[in-house]
Every structure is written in C-alpha cells, then in structure tokens.
Amino acid sequence: MHYKEVKGILSSKNGMNLYRGCTHGCIYCDARSKCYGMKHDFEDVEIKSNGNQLLEDSLRRKRKKCMIGTGAMCDPYIHMEDKLKSTRKSLELIEEYGFGISIQTKSNRILRDLDLLKKINAKTKCVVQTTLTTYDEDLCKIIEPSVSTTKERFEVLQVMKEHDIPTVVWMTPILPFINDTKENLRGLLNYCIEAKVYGIICFGIGLTLREGNREYFYEKLDQHFPGMKERYHKKYGYAYEIMSDHNKELMGIFYEECKKYNIVCNNDDIFKYLHEFEEKESMEQLSFL
C-alpha cells in the first residue's frame, strides 16, 4: 500500500473512494480495466491520506443534504480497513453532518460499523449493498478468493434486515460455463428473498471484459478452469459484452421471482432510490407534534 494526498474526494454525483485498488482478488473485477487510468499495481492499494479531511470540508460546505455513495470502484472494507479505519471515520462524519449513505461491500467487516449505520438510518437513509454471484461456497472461494463468502454476505443482509436497514444486492457478474445455472440463480434468489432485500441489480447473465481485466480473468481461468479460456475465445473472441446462452431463460426466472416477492429489479429505479435523500422525523419532532 502507499499514501497519496488528493485534491478532491467527492464526485459530481457525491460518490467517493477512500482507497484505490483492492486486495480481494475477484477474478472478474472490472476495476482492473486500463480505462480507469490507475498508475500503480492494483494490489498496491492507494490510500487517500487526506480523504476524510476533504470529506468533512465538503459536507460542511454543502447547502443541501444528500446521499453519499462509496464502494463503486473500491471496496471500503478491504483488509487494511481493520487497521486504518478510514471508512469508519467517514461514516462518523456522514452521521455527524446528517447525510445519508449508500455503501457497497463484499466484506462482513461492515458489521464492525453497525452502530454508525444504525445512527445514520435513524436520521435519514442508510442502504447497504453487497454482491452475490456464486451460491456454491467452494466455487465462491475460487472466483472471489479473499472476500467474505456468499453465506457470510447473506448473514450481513440478515443483520441489516433485523435492524431495518435497507439492502440492495448486485447479482453480477454471472460467468458463462461456470455459474450460469438455474441452481446457482435460485440459490442466490432464495438468499435475497429470505433477507427481504429492497432490490436486486442485474445487467443480465454474463460479464464484461476489456483491456486490463480481460487478461487477469483469462489468467485465472487457466489457473482454476483448464481449457475454459479457449472455450471463451472460441465463443466470444474479444467481445466486450459476454452474455450466457442461458440469459433469456435465467432472466425470466429472475423477473418472475422478483415480482412474486416484491423485490425491485428495475436497475434505473434502484439507482434512483440509492440517490434519493430522505430526512426522517426524530422522536423529539414526533413528540412535539
């Protein structure tokens, strides 16, 4: 890891990443793509040393409260968060200044900060997002080797449900020839149904590959699934969008189950929800009324 002072921390849409790079090792990770202009090794995580200082300054200056998003490009609960606590500090600031949070992670380290998530959710809106791609735990440890297992992430969703914190699942990517099966899909959907998630983001049954993440993905296919790279080359060549032959059938099941259990599955509606700030009435306001 290395430290770097940066000029800004919030994007135009109020997203932030306190870290740049990752140590989770997911074989399909799009953030490895060269188009993002990362000038250091992906595993040599950049720590934005003045990130929370910039965050506090931005929150103090904002005229209107809003949702702050984190985790889109780098997981806020990578291994070094145990020691650095940068994400926890950011949640303290967000809670102190009365903003909402939409936080995305594949790690059950988020449970460490449950106290802050509850405080934020009591004032406004806290949405916890996680990715579920692989129901089989052994396969999960190959595809996503250094993150919490699928079952552990399901347990995070359960904890959030118990504390009335809304959750969203990213059911993507699903890898052709590897986990694009009915059994995998229904296993993941059953987790979502049991955890009563608000919504599931899914872009279809497949993945995207571009320069940077494609090479890493194929390297890992060679390592763990002999002959699979050649199968991908023959079927897809160097296409950006890699869709499963089972996409239509599996997405039919997906939409049917989401409708049956009132799970929001329109991606645009979910993204709108993640960005909508809500201010809840405090107990003091309610007693006054």
Report residue 226 as tokens.
């002999």
- Would you place residue 22 in the very low, low, confident or very high pLDDT band (cuts 50, 70, 90)? very high
Using the predicted structure, report yes or no on whether residue 31 has a pLDDT greater than 90: yes
Taking only the tens place, the pLDDT of each residue in 137-173 is 999 999 999 999 999 999 999 999 999 999 999 999 9
Residue 185: the pLDDT is 98
User: What is the full DSSP assignment across 43-96?
Assistant: TS-EEETTHHHHHHHHHHH-SS--EEEE-SSS-TT-TTHHHH-HHHHHHHHHHH
- Would you place residue 280 in the very low, low, confident or very high pLDDT band (cuts 50, 70, 90)? confident
Using the predicted structure, report yes or no on whether residue 229 has a pLDDT greater than 60: yes
Tell me the average pLDDT of the chain. Answer: 95
CA angle 99, 105, 106 (to 5 degrees): 165
| Residues 6+ positions from 167 with CB-CB distance below 8 Å | 127, 128, 129, 130, 157, 160, 161, 195, 197, 198
Residue 80: the pLDDT is 94
Using the predicted structure, report yes or no on whether residue 289 has a pLDDT greater than 80: no
Q: Mean pLDDT, to the nearest integer, of 2-12? A: 95
Taking only the tens place, the pLDDT of each residue in 101-132 is 999 999 999 999 999 999 999 999 999 999 99
Report residue 7 as tokens.
């000029």
Percent of the chain with pLDDT over 70: 97
Taking only the tens place, the pLDDT of each residue in 34-86 is 999 999 999 999 999 999 999 999 999 999 999 999 998 899 999 999 999 99
DSSP character at residue 3: E
Q: What are the structural domains of the chain?
A: 2-288 (3.20.20.70)
Residue 284: the pLDDT is 46
User: What is the full DSSP assignment across 128-156?
Assistant: EEEE---SSHHHHHHHSTTS--HHHHHHH
DSSP character at residue 124: S
The structure's pTM equals 0.94
